Amino acid sequence: MRYIPTSYEMKKADERTSSKMHVRSIVLMERAALAVAEEISGGRVLVAAGTGNNGGDAFAAGRILIERGIEVDFCLIGERKKCSQTEEEQIFAVEALTDGVELLESIPENDYDYIIDGIFGVSLNRDVAGRFAQAIESINEKHRNGAKVISIDIPSGINADTGMVCGVAVEADVTVACAYEKPGTLLFPGTEYAGRVKVASIGITDRSFDTAPGIMAPEPCDALLPARKKNSNKGTYGKVLVIAGSENICGAALLAARAALCLGCGMVRVFTHENNRTAIQIGLPEALITTYSSETGINSKLRESLGWCTCAVVGPGLGTGEISEHILRLVLKEAAVPLILDADALNLIAEDCSVLDELSVDAVITPHVGEMSRLTGLGIKEIKADPIGTARDFSMAHGVVTVLKDARTVTAFPAGKAVINTSGNSGMATAGSGDVLAGMIGSLTAQGVGLGDAAWRGVYLHGAAGDIASEKFGAHTMLSGDIISSISAFGWEENRKNEKI
């Protein structure tokens, strides 16, 4: 897992690096500037700098390029008297090198091969206006006409913590992230403005943080499948109960159950309406089936099924009628195993979220943005503006792990931590994809992965399988079943190394 610090956490790490680790800010600035300069091979360059340390990075990068014989113009957006002390030192160094270079006050009409964007850093939290907005719009116009734009740390105009556009933002080809990538270049729409993100080592390290940042992002080596034992049987890898499918609606149940089996759990039982029996027997003969046809006798069957399983996935295609509500109430009241609550389970819970507070077992909820809106009462636009905060607030309020599904899925935990997922693609925006994810999280949980880890690992593996499916079938034509069939192509070589005797 890699750290994804917020602007506040990054500021504190920067200060601690200087005060406790004795690496001065000017040294950090020089190393950031070197990383930016490495992205430029020649031609004519414009440095567009604001009045903070981000601008100092930009001036230092411009000076390094001049030393290499590259033609550079400098534009200071803002009043020089407002420049930070370290930026002023970099401006003095440029002036000394060039015998007093002219500092332009606005973006010139000239053509440039490269533009270094150092107008705003990670602390921006207001809409951009006036001369700053005009400068960003001018940079974007030159970018559309062929100039390559390199942003320092974050494209100017993007909120570093949420990825939202503060009125207008620079459209970068490359963002050189200083020490760590920020949430704003991972989340939408910021990630679309950032272009390729290059993380530059500048001297701020994991030891620069008093406590680990609250946001992380997984890497491939973090999300391996659970180890397999050579001396094992189907009981070794857990039993997943899939409580899903209402009368004549069995597709979601099949997808969740198949995904659970394909990711490696030992057994799956589907608890569903009697009318779905034949379709499930034909579609997934490996699964056990327990059915109901009316509310009569349902309690004993459901209790027996809950007693059989290692964890339960509840909700895909379940419906929101009286019988579905009865099933959910009994599960929430009597389950003694971890729960993965998805789809219609969440639609029923949205009527009274306090039922989550009364759970005696650990639970994961897996809402998409629309379901999260029903759970929280927040508008979809509001949720998308701060997915991390929305998911984290809900998890802390109700003591559940929240998997908020979107183009960038966020997993949040009751203790306040969060994970931003980076795998996956637009082809996964297809019916049934969420059912597959619920089954995968259930499978990992049944195999002994802790529920919180099973949530973010399931999300990552789901996206990784989706990336394989997209390459094979194309984003336009892939189906949720293709995600399941692609699980077998993911990570086997690495997992063989983890196989236990």
Model pLDDT, residue 493: 45
**What contacts 282, CB < 8 A, 6 or more positions away?**
none
- Phi and psi at 203, nearest 5°, equal 120, -15
CA distance 191 to 442: 30
* 341: its two tokens: 């609550």
**CB under 8 Å to 41, separation ≥6 — which residues?**
none
Q: Band of the pLDDT at 488, cuts 50, 70, 90?
A: confident
Q: Which three-class secondary structure state does DSSP give residue 489?
A: helix
Of 112 and 489, more confident: 112
Examine the pLDDT at 491 and tell me if it is beyond 80.
no
User: What is the reported pLDDT for 35?
Assistant: 98
pLDDT of residue 295: 79
Cβ atoms of 434 and 342 within 8 Å: the answer is yes
Token digits of residue 231: 């001396």
Residue 293: other Cβ atoms inside 10 A: 13
Domains within the chain, CATH numbers bracketed = 2-212 (3.40.50.10260), 236-491 (3.40.1190.20)
**pLDDT above 70 (res 25):** yes
Which pLDDT band, with edges at 50, 70 and 90, does 296 fall under? confident
Is the CB of residue 404 less than 8 Å from the CB of residue 385? no
For 235-271, letters b (16+ CB in 10 Å) and e give: eebbbbbbbbbbbebbbbbbbbbbbbbbbbbbbbbbb
Q: Say whether the peptide bond before residue 189 is cis (omega within 30 degrees of 0).
A: yes
The predicted pLDDT at position 221 comes to 83
Judge contact between 24 and 95, C-beta under 8 A: no
Q: What is the DSSP letter of 423?
A: -
For residue range 101-126, list pLDDT tens digits in order.
999 999 999 999 999 999 999 999 99
d(CA 390, CA 382): 9
Residue with tokens 């701060």: 386
The share of the chain scoring above pLDDT 90, in percent, equals: 94
Strands (E), 111-222: 114-118, 148-152, 174-178, 196-200, 215-217
Q: Helix, strand, or coil here: 270?
A: strand
CA 300 to centroid of chain Cα atoms? 41
pLDDT digits over 129-174, tens only?
Answer: 999 999 999 999 999 999 999 999 999 999 999 999 999 999 999 9
Q: How many CB atoms lie within 10 A of CB 29?
A: 25
Higher-confidence position of 485 and 493: 485
**Range from 290-299, 366-375, 444-453 carrying the lowest mean pLDDT:** 290-299
Secondary structure percentages of the chain, helix, strand, coil, to 5: 45, 15, 40
Would you say 149 and 170 are in contact if contact means Cβ atoms under 8 Å apart? Answer: yes
Which pLDDT band, with edges at 50, 70 and 90, does 501 fall under? Answer: very low
pTM: 0.95
3-state secondary structure of 393: helix
Distance CA 451, CA 102 (A): 60
d(C-alpha 113, C-alpha 172), whole Å? 13
| C-alpha span between 161 and 157 (Å, rounded) | 12
pLDDT tens-digit profile of 346-390? 999 999 999 999 999 999 999 999 999 999 999 999 999 999 999
- pLDDT band at residue 499, thresholds of 50, 70 and 90? low
Rounded CA separation 288/268 (Å): 6
pLDDT reading at 320 higher than 60: yes
Q: Position 87: which residue type? A: E
